[in-house]
A and B are shown apart, each in its own frame.
Chain A
């Protein structure tokens, strides 16, 4: 398996623009997570899905952020409108559902909002 695939790897956008980050989880995994890494807050969970259903979105910072998982092999994280403080590395991870399982991470998308 190619692992968790994220695109794009880098995104530079202007403040106010819409940004869409994409993720393809590992085939067979039924949990998917979106994390954000910043210097100030470290790795923080934004949202996670089990079987394509959002289970916990309490980490989504504002209404400007939204995430979807239309099927088991694809998820998006959208920011609209984007702001400079959204600049961070966004990671997608997937795992089997259930306790005592490790999550596998993608390589991340580095977002810069200018």
Chain B
């Protein structure tokens, strides 16, 4: 049972435009959500997070939106840059279950110059 899903395996966007990555979850106990970025042959690196008491968190070019009623979150990257080309993972945790993270399957983003 996949509790965190990223339904788009890949996304291609022109440099300077907006990239929108989506993530859905099924476990209503999740209360903390994170996005990780992964380059080939490297480990995932933390990008941005949001707790369930918020609906938006912004950090520079990256903004995460959370819609609890829809059990949906999204990551917006504006403007997209070629260096953003990577695989992006959505992750979630439930404080009652400790700090382990459940990951989505990832979305590969390609930013074209």
For the complex, give the distance between the alpha carbons of A102 and B46 in Å.
7
B34 proximity list for chain A (CB < 8 A): 102
Interface check B78, CB cutoff 8 A? no
Question: Would you list 30 pairs from A and B whose C-beta atoms are within 8 A, ordered by A residue?
Answer: A31-B99, A33-B101, A35-B103, A42-B103, A42-B105, A43-B89, A43-B103, A43-B106, A44-B103, A48-B98, A48-B100, A50-B98, A55-B100, A91-B43, A91-B44, A99-B31, A99-B95, A99-B99, A100-B32, A100-B51, A102-B34, A102-B46, A103-B99, A105-B43, A105-B44, A107-B41, A107-B42, A107-B43, A108-B41, A108-B43
With an 8 Å Cβ cutoff, the count of chain A residues facing the other chain is 28
Residues of chain A from 67 to 105 with CB closer than 8 A to chain B in the complex: 91, 93, 95-105
A45 proximity list for chain B (CB < 8 A): 100-102
Q: How far is the CB of B1 from chain A (nearest CB, A)?
A: 12
Does A103 contact B102, Cβ atoms closer than 8 Å?
no
Which of B46, B95, B104 is packed against the most chain A CB atoms within 10 Å?
B46
With an 8 Å Cβ cutoff, the count of chain B residues facing the other chain is 25
Residues of chain A from 26 to 76 with CB closer than 8 A to chain B in the complex: 31, 33, 35, 42-45, 48, 50, 55-56
Residues of chain B from 33 to 82 with CB closer than 8 A to chain A in the complex: 34, 36, 41-46, 49, 51
